[in-house]
Amino acid sequence: MLLLVAGLTWFALAPSPTNITLGPIEAINAISRGDPIGLIDLGILFLIATPLVRILTALAVFAQTREWKFVFVSVLVLAIIALAIFVKG
């Protein structure tokens, strides 16, 4: 959220014509070029990843308590999200 607020403030001070998502590597390149959209895009990627951390945490707890059925369930949820990442090919 901090990244997004910083990126939006930067954009308000120095607007950029970029209006597409860039992906993680290009976003970092854009920041080094001085394009605030890079920072906003990075903020969006971090935001999307937040619920992912929740699944990983639950997975770790299930593994620690040896609840293998739920480890499998968590891995399945992660696999479906991975499917979404590669769905466009």
Partner 1 sequence: MLAMELAFAIGILAFALLAGLLGSLLGLGGGIVIIPVLTLGFGYPMQTAIGASLMAVIASSTGSASYYVEEGLSNIRLGMVLEIATTFGSVIGALIAVYTDQYILAAAFGILLLYSASHMIRRPESTCVYKPGPCGPLDLSCSYTEKNDGKSVEYGVQKLGRGMLASLGAGGMSGLLGVGGGTIQVPVMNLWMGVPMRAACATSNFMIGVTALAGAVVYYQFGLVQPLLAGIVAVGAFFGAAVGSRVAHRINGEQLKRLFAVLMVFVAALMFLKAAGVIA
Write out the residues near partner 1 by the rule CB under 8 A. Answer: 1, 4-5, 7-8, 11-12, 15, 18-22, 37, 40-41, 43-44, 47-48, 50-52, 54-55, 58, 69-70, 73-74, 76-77, 80-81, 83-85, 87-88
CB of 34 to partner 1, least distance (A): 16
d(C-alpha 63, C-alpha 16), whole Å:
46
Which residues, in sequence order, are CB contacts of 36 under 8 Å at separation 6+?
Answer: 7, 8, 10, 11, 14, 15, 16
CB nearer partner 1, residue 15 or residue 34: 15
Place of tokens 């992660």: 78
